[in-house]
Amino acid sequence: MSSTENIYLPKVVQLDRVVDEIHEVRTFVWHFEDPADQAAFKKFRPGQFAQVSIFGAGEFPASLPPSPTENEMFFTIRTVGGCTAALHRLQPGDRFAVRGPYGNGFPMDDYAGKNLVFVAGGIGLIPLRSCIVYALAHRERYERIQIYYGAKTPRELMYLPNLRAWEQAAGIECQLTVDRASDGWTGNVGVVGSLFKRPGVHVPVENTVAFVCGPPVMFRFVIRDLLDMGFREDQIMSTLERYMKCGVGKCGHCCIGVAYVCVDGPVFTYEQIKKLGEDI
């Protein structure tokens, strides 16, 4: 970026296609109109986010679920209010704008030689998808890779093609569960933490990093399970969501105590989250 470039100026992108994930959640596949913007943006890290501008509606932060090892760019967005609903109304060929990538992201390269355990609930899989795909693209760098994912019902399991591929992939362990079986579901039933107690499941504690993302109630129970298993608080990673405006550490909207979630986060260890006094 040149010193005269406006840091708030988003780059125009075009929507390629829309994929229905679960109720009110869709994946929006897009590309930058200028290939130079694409090349600059592709240096993002798993766990970073971007600011998405919908013309005439506003701007909102969104995680980057693709891995930098993949070619397509996309967001996966739940419609909750004005901006996200405006994105959901766009059609392939329509334009919107993106600035970023922002935030610290997960230090995946520092985890080389470690076991990785991913624990996600519901749309908590959105920020973790990038790390999982990145880790699998660099499989030789890591020891065991375990994925535990839960949703309320089978219809609320996200990224189904990825889940099916991870379940069948050699060299990783992937288990899914739902709170309530329906639609002919014959798999595990129970909260995501119940997977740790299933026969044959062993989560190593030594030399392991745990990634936990999901709704607050799931987060609290999974953290308790991991601590009971012997995990230290600094072995557990998660991402925080905060109201954001600038995304670049200027406006103060995202502050929790001394931390700016947009630049110091959104990735934090559980130890840091506790010190910040964040009540998840």
Which residues of the shown chain bind ligand FAD in the complex (CB under 6 A)? 49, 58, 60-63, 75-78, 80-85, 126, 241-244, 266
Work out which of 77, 236, 237, 254 binds ligand FES, going by CB under 6 A: 254
Tell me if 247 contacts ligand FES by CB under 6 A: yes
Ramachandran assignment for 44, one of left (phi > 0), alpha (psi -120 to 50 degrees), beta (any other): beta
Tokens at 51, concatenated: 């600011």
**Are 121 and 223 spatial neighbours (Cβ–Cβ below 8 Å)?**
no
| Region from 118-126, 131-139, 213-221, 251-259 binding ligand FES, contact rule CB under 6 A | 251-259
Residue 69: HSE in the Cβ half-sphere, 13 Å Cα cutoff:
13
Tell me if 253 contacts ligand FES by CB under 6 A: yes
Q: Is the peptide bond before 101 cis (omega within 30 degrees of 0)?
A: yes
Name the amino acid, one letter, at 111: Y
Q: Which residue lies nearer to ligand FES by CB, 29 or 256?
A: 256
Q: Which residue lies nearer to ligand FAD by CB, 114 or 242?
A: 242
Q: Which residue lies nearer to ligand FAD by CB, 30 or 231?
A: 30
Q: Per-residue contact track with ligand FES, 259 to 278, x per CB under 6 A?
A: -x-x----------------
Tokens at 89, concatenated: 């109304």
| Region from 21-29, 110-118, 203-211, 238-246 binding ligand FES, contact rule CB under 6 A | 238-246
When CB distances are held under 5 to 8 angstroms depending on the partner's kind, the choice from ligand FAD, ligand FES, none that residue 247 binds is: ligand FES
Closest distance of CB 253 from ligand FES, Å: 5
When CB distances are held under 5 to 8 angstroms depending on the partner's kind, the choice from ligand FAD, ligand FES, none that residue 68 binds is: none
Tell me if 244 contacts ligand FES by CB under 6 A: yes
Work out which of 31, 114, 138, 245 binds ligand FES, going by CB under 6 A: 245
Tell me if 8 contacts ligand FES by CB under 6 A: no
Closest distance of CB 87 from ligand FAD, Å: 8
**Are 66 and 133 spatial neighbours (Cβ–Cβ below 8 Å)?**
yes
Q: Which residue lies nearer to ligand FES by CB, 114 or 245?
A: 245
Residues forming contacts to ligand FES in the complex (CB under 6 A) are 244-247, 249-254, 260, 262
